[in-house]
């Protein structure tokens, strides 16, 4: 039973009146349910079994009803032992399990009679569970106040009101500070995500244009090795297109402020590494087979190193950004 330490006398008496009203309403429903259950059980017994067995059931049912009435009266007048008597009667009523065993000893060939017997058994277990739950309600608020007495040593109403006011003010201030902190984190995180989005677009699509134009510059500078520069330009163009395709995923997720953006960066880097491992041997074989100068390989490595270096620096900063971590953690906590 919970002690009502911070309850004023007026509030305690009001809760006690409400608890008494709820308790008595529950007891009325309890008696009506018991009478209905026993009448239904008597009908089922009279229809299915012999007269002597039905008389024994009626006798035990009347005794059970008297015990329940006694328990209900003790609870009604808020007797100190009323709740214990109620649960004691609930335990005594388990004698019905003996009848459940006996009714299955009678052979029933009619499907309807078998169905009625099964319903009776289910109703018995349902009744037992329902009455047990009903007894638990006597220990719950506000009904539990019926068995309590107000103590003068309790905190008076003024102290209780002041304590409640201070508690509410403190809770409101903490909630306000938390909301302000969360708002600042979210604002800064969304600002950073917009910056990362623009930088990713610049590196991916801007690099696609710049490195392709860089190929023309290399062809103008190294006019004696135009075929090798053509291959380097073509390789850089295809690699940039592949990168633009796969890096579009984290770019879009960042724009949508989606928490999967951080994880998508790892996935995309895995795809990027797989692509380079796949193409590395083929580049060397093409250069050797076509008798291109190693200057071609140097141009490819230089261009790709610059582009990958920019992507790595940008995504590493994105991954370590504390505001993004805090923002996505808050969103996850909010569900």
Q: Which ranges of the chain does DSSP label H, i.e. alpha helix?
A: 9-48, 51-76, 82-92, 96-103, 111-136, 157-201, 207-221, 226-246, 248-255, 260-290, 294-320, 322-334
Determine the Cα–Cα distance for residues 176 and 179; give it in Å rounded to an integer.
Answer: 5
CA distance 318 to 191: 12
Task: Please report the pLDDT score of residue 153 as a whole number.
Answer: 45
Would you say residue 152 has pLDDT above 60?
no
Neighbours of 76 (CB within 10 A): 15
| Confidence label for 290 from pLDDT (cuts 50, 70 and 90) | low
* Minimum mean pLDDT range among 100-114, 178-192, 287-301, 321-335: 100-114
Could you give phi then psi for residue 142, rounded to 5 degrees? -90, 0
Q: Tell the burial category of 222 from Cβ atoms under 10 Å away from its Cβ (0-12, 13-18, 19+).
A: middle
**pLDDT one-digit tens code per residue, 154-176:** 444 555 555 665 566 565 556 55
Which tens digit of pLDDT belongs to each residue from 127-144? 888 788 788 888 887 788
At residue 120, does pLDDT exceed 70?
A: yes
Contact 207, 310 (CB under 8 A): yes
Confidence of residue 1 (pLDDT cuts 50, 70, 90): very low
């Amino acid at each position: 039973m919970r002690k009502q330490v911070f309850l004023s006398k007026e509030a305690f008496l009001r809760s006690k009146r409400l608890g008494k009203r709820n308790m008595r309403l529950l007891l009325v429903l309890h008696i009506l349910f018991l009478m209905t259950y026993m009448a239904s059980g008597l009908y089922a017994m009279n229809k299915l079994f012999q007269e002597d067995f039905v008389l024994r059931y009626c006798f035990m049912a009347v005794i059970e009803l008297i015990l329940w009435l006694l328990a209900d009266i003790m609870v009604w007048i808020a007797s100190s032992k009323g709740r214990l008597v109620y649960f004691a009667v609930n335990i005594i009523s388990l004698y019905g399990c003996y009848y459940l065993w006996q009714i299955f000893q009678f052979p029933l060939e009619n499907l309807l009679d078998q169905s009625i017997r099964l319903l009776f058994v289910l109703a018995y277990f349902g009744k037992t569970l329902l009455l047990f739950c009903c007894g638990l309600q006597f220990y719950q608020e506000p009904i539990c106040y019926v068995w309590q007495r107000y103590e003068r040593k309790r905190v008076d109403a003024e102290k209780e009101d002041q304590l409640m006011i201070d508690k509410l003010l403190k809770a409101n201030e903490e909630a306000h500070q938390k909301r302000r902190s969360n708002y600042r984190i979210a604002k800064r995180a969304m600002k950073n995500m917009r910056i990362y989005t623009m930088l990713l677009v610049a590196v991916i699509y801007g690099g696609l244009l710049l490195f392709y134009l860089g190929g023309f510059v290399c062809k103008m500078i190294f006019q004696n090795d135009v075929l090798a520069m053509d291959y380097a330009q073509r390789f850089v163009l295809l690699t940039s297109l592949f990168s633009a395709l796969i890096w579009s995923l984290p770019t879009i997720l960042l724009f949508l402020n989606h928490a999967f953006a951080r994880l998508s960066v790892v996935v995309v880097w895995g795809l990027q590494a797989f692509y380079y491992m796949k193409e590395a041997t083929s580049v060397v074989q093409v250069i050797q087979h076509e008798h291109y100068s190693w200057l071609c390989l140097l141009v490819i490595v230089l261009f790709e190193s610059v582009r990958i270096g920019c992507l790595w620096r940008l995504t590493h900063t994105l991954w370590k950004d504390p505001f993004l971590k805090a923002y996505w953690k808050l969103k996850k906590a909010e569900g």
